[in-house]
Amino acid sequence: MKIKRNILLNPGPSTTTDTVKMAQVVSDICPREKEFRSIMAPMRKDLVKIVHGEEDYTSVLFCGSGTICIDVCLNSLLAADKKAMVINNGSYSQRAVDVCKAYGLPLIEVKQPIDTTPDLSIIEETLKENEGSVGYVYITYHETGTGLLNPVKEVGALAHKYGAFFITDTTSAYAMIPINVYDQNIDFCMASAQKGIQGMTGLSYVVGKKSIIEESKNYPMRSYYCNLYMQYEFFEKTGEMHFTPPVQTIYAAKQALIEYWKEGEEKKWARHQRVMNAIRAGVDRLGFKEALNRDVQSGLVSAITYPDDQNWDFERIHDYCYERGFTIYPGKIESKSTFRLCALGVIDEDDIVEFWKVFEAGLNEMGVAIPVKYE
Ligand SMILES: *Cc1c(COP(=O)(O)O)cnc(C)c1O
């Protein structure tokens, strides 16, 4: 079977291999069978190993998109008498704030600019003012809306200094940027199979400290379906997910992990960087400007400012590229019109070279001047 290869430059789901796609085609199976259960234990170990956790870390799988892990961590890991502290500097950390509000959690929101590294002294001041009452500090590892990389290690150190756990949303960094939970002071991180491991949508996982999960047994149970301890306990007792798992997505994830280990952490990161260098080369050649300075970027997302040209039309250039197998994505910055090109998935620099040829032809057809203009 020949499957048309699309180049996805959106921030996940990303381009996958045919072997991962085909891994979903299996005989029908009841997920309560031993045969299916036997996939899960090694998968849980692999997911911990990706961020170099040892026996003191575990992974807990959920059926849902990446946001389910934000929900699970925030609602499950807060003791009754503690406050949540969220560093808010982008649309994904805003999502975390919204989750806290939906649960009515006592919240300390530290708002920071979206286009530059947060001010650690403000974070420390806030922790000092609330010493003893902060349950956890939460930050997004890589803000996928802008491409901003946060100072995770430093914020984690501050959280621990003031006696709080540290949670970071690594959904758009995990299995791409090398992460070490010990070096980076991470108690909890998370991801989704459709992003870093280059699998399918519908499976997400929290990787975190066992001792804290066990302690959270005594915390208020704020959700039935999205409770971390309950899902963890069920896994430990039975080796299964509590409720029906995304069967075919799990088969795809199993294959994706085989391919992850085969490529290797460093080589994979080098490939993503190669892709980003090719993206940046095209940005520079056509005269585009990015919303963020490169020295604060993750190297996985480029947020590009719309040019000032009356013929520029994002929808049109999107459709032009889409019809030719390339998917580009709108931005997520309120104050500025941007679009995004992301270096996720099974793509390499040659794909980006081809993409820029198509994109440039699209600009020509629209009558956009090259190099593009800014006022
Ligand atoms: C993709 C992503 C998520 C999950 O988003 P869904 O729409 O639920 O898949 C969460 N956090 C970050 C930083 C992400 O990039």
Largest CA distance in the chain: 64
- Residues 275, 51 contacting (CB under 8 angstroms): no
Q: Is the CB of 14 under 6 A from ligand 1?
A: no
Instruction: Please check the confidence at residue 312 and state whether its pLDDT lies above 80.
Output: yes
Return the pLDDT at 302: 98
Same domain flag for 56 and 83? yes
Residue 110: helix, strand or coil by DSSP?
Answer: strand
Q: Is the CB of 11 under 6 A from ligand 1?
A: yes
Instruction: Please check the confidence at residue 1 and state whether its pLDDT lies above 80.
Output: no
- Residue 10 falls inside a structural domain: no
Return the pLDDT at 259: 98
- Residues 267, 176 contacting (CB under 8 angstroms): no
Separation of alpha carbons 64 and 205, rounded Å: 9
Instruction: Please check the confidence at residue 320 and state whether its pLDDT lies above 80.
Output: yes
Same domain flag for 132 and 98? yes
Per-residue pLDDT tens over the stretch 84-135:
999 999 999 999 999 999 999 999 999 999 999 999 999 999 999 999 999 9
Total structural domains in the chain?
Answer: 2
Q: Is the CB of 12 under 6 A from ligand 1?
A: yes
| Domain of residue 316, residue span | 265-366
Same domain flag for 233 and 145? yes
Same domain flag for 254 and 190? yes
Atom of ligand 1 nearest to the CA of 144: 15
Same domain flag for 212 and 318? no
Same domain flag for 54 and 145? yes
| Residue 90 Ramachandran class (φ > 0 left, ψ -120 to 50 alpha, else beta) | left
Distance from residue 96's CA to the centre of ligand 1 (Å)? 11
Per-residue pLDDT tens over the stretch 179-206:
999 999 999 999 999 999 999 999 999 9
Statement: the pTM of the whole predicted model exceeds 0.95: yes
Q: Detail the DSSP E strand segments found in the chain.
A: 7-8, 57-63, 83-88, 107-111, 134-140, 142-143, 148-149, 165-169, 188-192, 203-209, 301-305, 326-327, 329-330, 338-342
Band (2; pLDDT cuts 50, 70, 90)? confident
